[in-house]
Every structure is written in C-alpha cells, then in structure tokens.
Amino acid sequence: MSLKESINLKRLPKHVAIIMDGNGRWAMQRGKDRNYGHKKGVDAVREIIERAAELGIRYLTLYAFSTENWNRPWEEVEALMELMVNSLNNETKKLVDNNIILKVIGDIDRLSAEVRESLDYTLERTSKCSGMTLIVALSYSSRWEMVKAVRDISYKIKEGKIDPGNIDDKIFENYLTTRDIPDPELLIRTSGELRISNFLLWQIAYSELYFTETLWPDFGKEELYKALIEYQKRERRFGKTSEQVHEKEN
C-alpha cells in the first residue's frame, strides 16, 4: 500500500499548520546562497498546497515570515519579499483554478506597498473561492497577535462595549487574527528544530506536534503523507482519560 493510500481520509485534520524551516541550511549544504534555498522553498510550498487541497484538508497555514525575520540582513528580507510578490503574481490564477481562498495573518502594515498590492489582488481574486483556505502568516508572531488582542479589547472596555468580567476564551479568540479559523489539529515543523518560535501559541494548545529532520525544500508530498499518518496514530484526549475518549467514540 502506498503512503497516500494509508491515510484515512475520514480522519484528516481539518487544519494543518507548518513552520517551514531549513531553506538556508539546504542551500549552504549545496554551496549556494540562502536565497537559492528560499526559491526552492517556494517549489515545496506549491507542492504542499496542491497535495493538501487534493486530500481535502480545509485549512493550511504556512509560517512564511515572522516578526523576528525583519531582523535578518536587509538583502535577505528584500529577496524574501520579492519572492512573495512573484509567487503571488504567478500563482493567483492557479489558486483560483484550484478553488483556494487566500488569507493573510500578521502585521501587514509593516509590508511594503508593493507586497500589500500583490496581496490585495490575490485576496480579492480568491475571495469567492470555496475550497481549501490557505493562510499565510506574514510579519506574524503570536506575541504580537496576543498583545494586539489585549490592546483592542482594552479599547472596547474603555468604550463600555465589553465588561471585563465577561472576558472568556471565546471573546479573546474573536480578537485574534485567526478568528473564524478553527485551531490546527496538527502542527508540523521541518529541519529538526524542536521549537515553536512564536507561532500560533494560543491556537496550538491542543495540537499534535510533528517534527521532522527534513529541510523545507525537501518536504514533498510523501513527507506530508507521513506526517498525516503519524497524526492519525495519535490519541487526542483534550485532558480527558483514554477511557472517556473511547466511550464517546462507541
């Protein structure tokens, strides 16, 4: 049986989030510069989007650029932004043809006008699609997102629109950039690093974590299938006992 055939399509995670790491190391191992690794990373992005949509995954979130990535050498930041603009321009039609909706989370105001224009174009073109939602985290970090949520809630309190005593998980979630998006059941990180790096800290409270040594440019469909198969072997208990979980299933 192939890896793909081993996946139980009835038990797919609705939402998969990925920390795409290792482009730089992949390039260095080949004696190339880091930006060559990022270019190859885009090929992997394309492949994973197509395969995830084909399987029937409803939401795919990709960590493309973190708040902390602004501190990289300026030439690398520029190259990544250019890659983003080119990818958006080249892939918009394909996204629409595949019925994929694009969403972006992050501090968009920090992006250049050129990047924002490309984003707006693709967001608009894909807004009527109804298939998989592709969420690109750009200039994103979880702490930025949570601090912003606290700030926005505080303004509402000041305006008398929220009673502090009523604040609960649901209200807080409504102020996150991921409102209306279910939490990921599976978080994948490539390249062997065992960290979360300020990504979706609130949303991954109960996510299954999957780490692989594979560097992002080498993360192809078989790697995605392996992660999904591993996910399906796990028992998700949400704080309950194993017996309680199985009782509910029966």
- Please identify, among the stretches 40-48, 93-101, 178-186, 234-242, the one whose residues bind ligand FPP according to the rule CB under 6 A: 40-48
Mark residues 160-199: x for contact with ligand FPP by CB under 6 A, - for none.
Answer: -------------------------------x--------
**Hey, which residues between 87 and 116 contact ligand FPP (CB under 6 A)?**
87
3-state secondary structure the chain: CCCHHHCCHHHCCCEEEEECCCHHHHHHHCCCCHHHHHHHHHHHHHHHHHHHHHHCCCEEEEEEEEHHHHHCCHHHHHHHHHHHHHHHHHHHHHHHHCCCEEEEECCHHHCCHHHHHHHHHHHHHHCCCCCCEEEEEEEECHHHHHHHHHHHHHHHHHCCCCCHHHCCHHHHHHCCCCCCCCCCCEEEECCCCCCCCCCCCCCCCCCEEEECCCCHHHCCHHHHHHHHHHHHHCCCCCCCCHHHHHHHHC
64 binds ligand FPP (CB under 6 A): yes
- Choose which of 38, 51, 103, 226 interacts with ligand FPP (CB under 6 A): 38
For ligand FPP, the closer CB: 34 or 103: 34
- Choose which of 16, 17, 18, 21 interacts with ligand FPP (CB under 6 A): 21
For ligand FPP, the closer CB: 16 or 20: 20
Q: State how far the Cα of 9 lies from the Cα of 19, in Å rounded to an integer.
A: 23
- Residue 21 known to be catalytic: yes
57 binds ligand FPP (CB under 6 A): no
Question: How many residues touch ligand FPP (CB under 6 A)?
Answer: 19
Determine how many CB atoms are found less than 10 A away from the CB of residue 11.
10
Cβ-closest residue to ligand FPP? Answer: 24
- Please identify, among the stretches 18-26, 169-177, 180-188, 240-248, the one whose residues bind ligand FPP according to the rule CB under 6 A: 18-26
For ligand FPP, the closer CB: 69 or 98: 69
Residues forming the active site: 21, 69
Q: Which residues bind ligand FPP (CB under 6 A)?
A: 20-25, 34, 38, 41-42, 45, 62, 64, 69, 83-84, 87, 136, 191
